[in-house]
Amino acid sequence: MADEKAMSGNHENLKLALEDATQYAGHGQAATDQYGRALFEFDRKAESRLRWKMDLYLLPTVAVIYLFCFIDRANIGNAKLAGFDTDLNLKGYDYNHVLSVFYISYIIFEIPCNLCCKWMGPGWFLPLSTLLFGVTSVATAFVDTIHQASGVRFVLGIFEAGMLPGIAYYLSRWYRRSELAFRLALYIVMAPLAGAFGGLLASAILTLDRFGSLHNWRMIFAIEGIVTIGLALISFLTLTDRPETARWLSQEEKDLAIARLKSERIGTTEVLDKIDTTKLLRGIFSPVTLATSFIFLLNNITVQGLAFFAPTIVRTIYPDAGVVQQQLHTVPPYAVGAFFTVLFPFLSWRWDRRMTFFIAGPPLMMTGYIMFLASTDAHVRYGATFLIASGAFAFGALCNAHVSNNVVSDTARSAAIGTNVMFGNIGGLISTWSFLEFDAPDYHIGNGLNLATSSMCLILSALLWAWMNWDNKKRDAKDIDQELAGLSQTQIQDLDWRNPAFKWRP
């Protein structure tokens, strides 16, 4: 145990804390005892300086590339307002079919892409994925039929499948469990900001007469895709794969970064393990992973529904406004949603709680959908979109942090995050059929569905929270020494969340 005075923060004790970090950062050396208690404490000032440095070097790049990931996915909603469906002669449910194709590949490739991210390393995988979906976005500008549009959307789903879980997994290589949700929020907030910024950008692009030989909605896909390609090329230079390879960290800071993570992972002797089937299955089939993933599925019906249909909903509320004005009306609800996307995970970091905010978000969404169903007044329904966005968008950060925090090994974490996002994208697929043309302008089916899913989010979150507390009490009663007797270090590590000393973190 490090000297308790190491927390005082003077130079001598800071050096002691870093020397301890060096000892416990080494391969084959655990940083916890068999009961899950950290073997020493870190100097808080040293941790704070390291955290600020990681924030500065890591978060801007992943935030911007995720912004354009979401824009390149959701700009089809803005393109629809500018004549995408008319020029491609889409009728009936054709637009919904085009949206659905994206999610088929997105769901299928979710877990494989996240395992590829672990195998290749996020520092290469994320920039390469960004480059490829940027090229695909440009290709969308040249489609002329529903079949061509469906083809490029399917390919876009493949290249974007690894982005949300890949970035979440990438940041879990750097941050403590209590810190992770807020850092995830700082890039996931780009989803609602993409709705706001995407509307502004689409409005600005549509004021142009032409872009080369392209007109109208084709300019949106081409210009935004080219920007994405440029960002991908930059990110090849700016993304650092893991603490050990960070040229902007001193050796002492690298050791501290590694030891911090080890000190929270019971029985772990190395932060980055090799892909292991047992740990892979532990991550996928953890009860917390499965329950959280289903909650994320329900929530994502709302999040992706807003992304694809907010411009259409706004058009029904303000039918007499011009196209550019309709685009601009989609911006304020997303801006408010972005605020709550950061606020909830920030409080989660400070209180080291996530389930509290699983409970806080759904009532906002439920109130918004009740307003949609109960009123036909334009101002009331527009106000409802603010409440819905406020409650919905924070779940991306909270759910990914929750599944990451409730497994131990790096392999299990990669699989758990991939599973969570895969389930979420099943919700996205459902969302493409939640607002149907025959149900316009009031969309009773879509709003009723979302009221039901947000209500289920609240109920399931309360049940999951109760179960985690109940199971933790059962674990407290176990004889850890007896349970682990005769097991090798490798066998103990393979237990992951089944280790009797492991505690769920609500």
3-state secondary structure 179-191: HHHHHHHHHHCHH
- pLDDT of residue 6 exceeding 60, the answer is no
Cα separation, 161 vs 296, whole angstroms: 16
The pLDDT assigned to 452 comes to 95
The string of DSSP codes covering 99-144 is HHHHHHHHHHTHHHHHHHHHHH-HHHHHHHHHHHHHHHHHHHTT--
- pLDDT of residue 145 exceeding 80, the answer is yes
The pLDDT assigned to 39 comes to 66
Local structure of residue 133 (DSSP, 8 states)? H
% of the chain residues with pLDDT over 90: 42
Q: Across residues 109-122, what is the average pLDDT? A: 90
81, 290 contact by CB (below 8 A): no
Average pLDDT value over all residues in the chain: 85
43, 17 contact by CB (below 8 A): yes
Q: Across residues 286-314, what is the average pLDDT? A: 85
The pLDDT assigned to 79 comes to 87
- pLDDT of residue 12 exceeding 60, the answer is no
The pLDDT assigned to 28 comes to 55
**Residue 166 amino acid letter:** G
Phi first, then psi: give them for residue 108, nearest 5 degrees.
-60, -40
Give, for 152, the enclosing helix (H) or strand (E). helix 146-160
Q: What is the pLDDT of residues 27-50, one digit of tens each?
A: 556 656 566 666 667 778 888 999
Query: Of 284-288, 322-326, 346-350, 367-371, where does mean pLDDT reach its minimum?
Result: 322-326
331, 318 contact by CB (below 8 A): no
CATH 1.20.1250.20 fits 60-244+274-472, yes or no: yes
Q: How confident is the model at residue 216 (pLDDT cuts 50, 70, 90)?
A: confident
Local structure of residue 161 (DSSP, 8 states)? T
Q: Distance from first CA to last CA of the chain, Å, rounded?
A: 27
Higher-pLDDT residue of 283, 73: 283
Q: Across residues 412-436, what is the average pLDDT? A: 88
Q: Which contacts qualify for 26-29: CB closer than 8 Å, 24 or more apart?
A: 27/269, 27/270, 28/269, 28/270, 29/262, 29/269
- pLDDT of residue 3 exceeding 70, the answer is no
The pLDDT assigned to 402 comes to 96
Give, for 451, the enclosing helix (H) or strand (E). helix 444-476
* 136-162 b/e (C-beta count within 10 Å ≥ 16 → b): bbbbbbebeebeebbbbbbbbbbbbbb
Q: What is the pLDDT of residues 230-242, one digit of tens each?
A: 999 999 988 988 8
Q: How confident is the model at residue 460 (pLDDT cuts 50, 70, 90)?
A: very high
User: What is the residue extent of each domain of the chain?
Assistant: 60-244+274-472
The pLDDT assigned to 32 comes to 65
- pLDDT of residue 342 exceeding 50, the answer is yes
The pLDDT assigned to 13 comes to 40
Query: Of 18-32, 80-94, 153-167, 300-314, where does mean pLDDT reach its minimum?
Result: 18-32
The string of DSSP codes covering 338-393 is HHHHHHHHHHHHHHT-SHHHHHHHHHHHHHHHHHHHH---HHHHHHHHHHHHHHHT
Q: What is the pLDDT of residues 437-454, one digit of tens each?
A: 788 777 888 889 999 999
- pLDDT of residue 312 exceeding 80, the answer is no
Cα separation, 215 vs 84, whole angstroms: 11
Cα separation, 282 vs 279, whole angstroms: 5
Q: Name residue 32's beta-bridge partners.
A: 38
Q: Across residues 209-217, what is the average pLDDT? A: 83
- pLDDT of residue 321 exceeding 80, the answer is no
Cα separation, 195 vs 75, whole angstroms: 9
% of the chain residues with pLDDT over 70: 89
| Residues listed for the chain | 506
